[in-house]
Amino acid sequence: MTEDVQGRHRKHGLLWLALGAATAILAILIVPPLVSVSRYKSQITHVMSASLGRPVRLSSVELRLLPWPGFVLNDLTVEEDPAYGAEPVLHASTVTASIRLLSLWRGRLEISRISVDDASLNVVRSSPGRWNLDPIFRTAAAKAGVAAARTAEQRRDVRLPYLGATNLRINIKNGAEKLPFSLVNSELSLWQEERGDWRIRLRGQPARTDMSLDLADTGVVRLEGSMRRAPELRQMPVHLDLEWQEAQLGQLMRLVIGSDPGWRGDLTGELHLDGTADAAQIKTRLQATGVHREEFAPAAPMDFDANCGFVYRFSERALDNLVCDSPLGDGRIQLAGALPGVGASPHFSIELDRIPVAAALDALRTVRSGFGPGLEVRGSISGKMSYDENAVASGKGEQPVGAIPSGKTKIGKTPNGKTRPVPQGPLTGSFAVEGFQLSGAGLHEPIQIPKLVLAVAAPVGQQIGQTRREALSATVSIPAGGAVPLSVTTRLALAGYEVTVHGQAALARARELAHVAGMGDAEPLDALAGDAMTVDLSGEGPWMAVEKIPESIISPLRSQTEARPSPAAGEAIGDRMSGTVTLHNVNWKTGYLANHVEISQATVHFENDEIHWDPVNFTYGPVKGTASLEVPGDCGGSESCLPRFQVQFGELDASAVQAALLGAHEPGTLLSELIARLNLSNSANSSNAPAWPQVEGVVKADSLTLGPVTLRQPSARVSIGPNGAAIYDLDAGLLDGRVHGGGTLHLPATSQDKPAYSLDGRFERLSPAAVGQLLGQRWSGGTFDADGKIQLSGFTEKDLTASAKGTLHFEWRHGAAANVPSALARFDLWTADAAVANGKIALTKSEVQHGLARRAVEGTLAFGDPPKVSLAEPKELKAKR
């Protein structure tokens, strides 16, 4: 063949290729609008409905040729079975259904693949325990069984489509209630590998709808599984591989329980299932690395790798042949047992072999905060505990350490006085701690216990017919510097703990033990010095504080006869401490007082997070008195939760009070030093003393001498806060009358500012002779009443005098005065209004009345020592018509 002929053939081939491509393009552009697909809508709906076993609705169907022939389904909704609710199982705005081309040549429409994007899938569990996906698989299994009975040609007509979903959201519902848990950004694939052989693949990120979570830290869930058809769903062979990787422990706990308990670390979980619903062989593995609390970074974070295997029987709700094994440090933990299901009693055992006590401390730090970060512990735990209710009925089982030997009967008394055997509990066995030593975290001497045995505790207040609450108990004696060592009894249960402490402890040792135990209320011990204290305390609480609780709650370690009132819904349940601490011959020294307070004896009561001090006789330099204090529990920081005190003094003198508060004479004034102690932010007048606490209370005294003035039985409410102090309801005898009033002190915000004061008072039935003597005048006559308000600022007397502004009103009846104008020598009534400013009091509206005559009076009172009174000759006022 010549080159010309070959060239013409190539041109003809390219031409036909171009014509074919043009024809295909024209077909793609022209054919879809001309083809009516509305008649396929019902057929597509029927095929999908038959495949899923649920009604299917579509709004419209469009034909698509590229990249593969198929239909675009708009607004797809797969209805739910009414038994599981009214919300659709699946809803998607757009679904692509690819067509099997060969089926079109046979005149049939078959869908090979269904692709869903940005859809929502509801997984529902009904009250009887059934899932809404069960009927879908049951329908698929039935169709596969029918297809198996047909001819090969017929089986080709019933192939179910491949289902794929991206950007899928899977919601979990419990009946009609939608739970906050869901899988987002999910990818789901469901298809048949062979006839009757289903495959499933799922990937998604766990999330909660009721809170904001960092999805990057909740991990990724991956699931792959297969299912083969069977006559019944419970007999369907299933294989599942589930992995939860890259989960951060803090975000994971927020996901599960709705709050962050402060745990940190990385968690990976695996689950492998083989078998049927009636006999599923399950193997799990849980790995954790770097587990610690957020505020505590141990030198060696707690890691564990737990492997478990068991057989689960769904129809019986039973778990058999449970075996778990996990190495921990140099030891090992082994758990074995079974949960036979409804109507049968569970039995299990846990064995510890040389588990480091440090691992137990790390676990305790993980669930509890506040323990001293520098604590170091040595020792190991070994032993075995078993739980078997059947052993109680048969009288068999291991005897715990300290129990009555076998062959003997432990007896008790019934209400009628007769003896009866006390039944042995289902929990038996013990754990022994060898070589325990606790050091660090400020302990000058380590706590050493050669051997400690945790045995089954006898039930507290056990009554016939009551539920037995099992716990482990141990009692140890710890020398603490007192005449009698501390006896510490610990009871540990699944729900919580209880600790009782009795004995004596030196104050220094008590401070160390309180800080090691993480007691937040132990700061006052740092300011005490004296003899050993007597302790009689008990504490209890859950291992983890919870936010939601049942309507009625009983202490996990007390009998049901000791039920507690139920806290409000959502209230957190934490530790509770009760008992007393008695102090002997102690000195209390704090930075905001110049001297120490001497206390011969004081008893402190602890109950329901509240602290109450019995009335205490104290001596503070030259000042003596009696004081009591109440510190309420945590109630959200409201004003009603402030510590409240009550102080009763005898006879007080202002100079003695000043010396007691400030100590030896220092530069400055009483006001400047007091304010410096009240507010450390005032750099110009601050001291090294800590700020006063935020408290309120009542102060009383037999008398208070203020220079030439003495207040008789003064009483006032005092409140000290971060921005100042206030006095309310002041009441006292003054100048043979009474005074009522109050005032406020606003602390300076910066070093350039000055403190501001606001005072108001009402004076009733004062003696004119006493008032005149105070002003250097000779007055006499009837009663003197007055009221006024004044505002001042500054530290020194000069500042206070110059800044004083206010008003004053007084009434003086049937009075007489010497060395004054004759019109004021004797009068029936003198009323006046005055203004306080510029270092003096000036009369603004004043008149004196004698019989029917009335005269206007002008005058001033200049502040000073002594004050200077100036009165002008009164001017006669004309009578009003």
550-598 pLDDT per residue, tens: 333 333 333 333 334 444 434 445 678 899 999 999 988 876 666 788 8
Q: What residues have CB less than 8 Å from 849, skipping those under 6 apart?
A: 827, 828, 829, 830, 855
Please give the model's pTM, rounded to 2 decimal places: 0.64
Alpha helices in 605-664 (DSSP H): 654-662
**Orientation of helix 134-148 relative to helix 38-52, angle to 10°:** 100
Is the distance from CB of 798 to CB of 760 less than 8 angstroms?
no
pLDDT of 296 above 80: no
Among residues 567, 494, 504, the alpha carbon closest in space to that of 535 is found at: 504
What is the pLDDT confidence band of residue 605, given thresholds at 50, 70 and 90? very high
Q: Name the strand (E) or helix (H) holding 250.
A: helix 249-257
Q: How does pLDDT run across 74-86, given as a tens digit for each residue?
A: 888 888 888 888 8
For residues 441 and 372, give the distance between their C-alpha atoms in angstroms, rounded to a whole number. 5
SS3 state of residue 410:
coil
Residue 250: left if φ>0, alpha if ψ -120 to 50, beta else—which one?
A: alpha
pLDDT of 163 above 90: no
Among residues 544, 547, 568, 548, the alpha carbon closest in space to that of 556 is found at: 544
pLDDT number for residue 211 = 77
Average pLDDT over residues 326-342: 86
Percent of the chain exceeding pLDDT 90 equals 21
The residue assigned the tokens 């510490």 is: 488
Quick count: other Cβ atoms within 10 Å of Cβ 35? 11
What are the two backbone dihedrals, phi and then psi, of residue 702, each rounded to the nearest 5 degrees? -70, -40
Q: How does pLDDT run across 691-734, given as a tens digit for each residue?
A: 667 889 999 999 988 778 899 999 999 998 777 889 999 999 99
Mean pLDDT over the full length of the chain? 77
pLDDT of 682 above 50: no
Radius of gyration (Cα) for the chain, nearest Å? 44
For residues 412 and 780, give the distance between their C-alpha atoms in angstroms, rounded to a whole number. 86
Buried (b) or exposed (e) across 444-463, using 16+ Cβ within 10 A? eeebebeebbbbbbebbebe
Q: How does pLDDT run across 352-366, given as a tens digit for each residue?
A: 999 888 888 877 776
Alpha helices in 650-807 (DSSP H): 654-662, 670-678, 768-774, 797-803
* Strands 376-388 and 263-276, sheet pairing: unpaired
Give the tokens for residue 467.
């539920």
Handedness of CA 556, 560, 564, 570 (dihedral sign): positive
SS3 state of residue 140:
helix
* Cross-strand pairs, 744: 726, 758
Instruction: Tell me 880's DSSP state.
Output: P
The identity of residue 654, as a single letter, is A
The residue assigned the tokens 């998607």 is: 92
Average pLDDT over residues 463-491: 79
What are the two backbone dihedrals, phi and then psi, of residue 18, each rounded to the nearest 5 degrees? -65, -40
For residues 560 and 579, give the distance between their C-alpha atoms in angstroms, rounded to a whole number. 21
SS (H, E, C) 795-809: CCHHHHHHHCEEEEE
pLDDT of 643 above 60: yes
Q: What angle do CA 648, 653, 658 make, to 5 degrees?
A: 95
Lowest mean pLDDT among 57-71, 129-143, 237-251, 396-410: 396-410
For residues 764 and 775, give the distance between their C-alpha atoms in angstroms, rounded to a whole number. 18
Instruction: Tell me 79's DSSP state.
Output: P
pLDDT number for residue 684 = 39
Is the distance from CB of 351 to CB of 328 less than 8 angstroms?
no
For residues 122 and 133, give the distance between their C-alpha atoms in angstroms, rounded to a whole number. 9
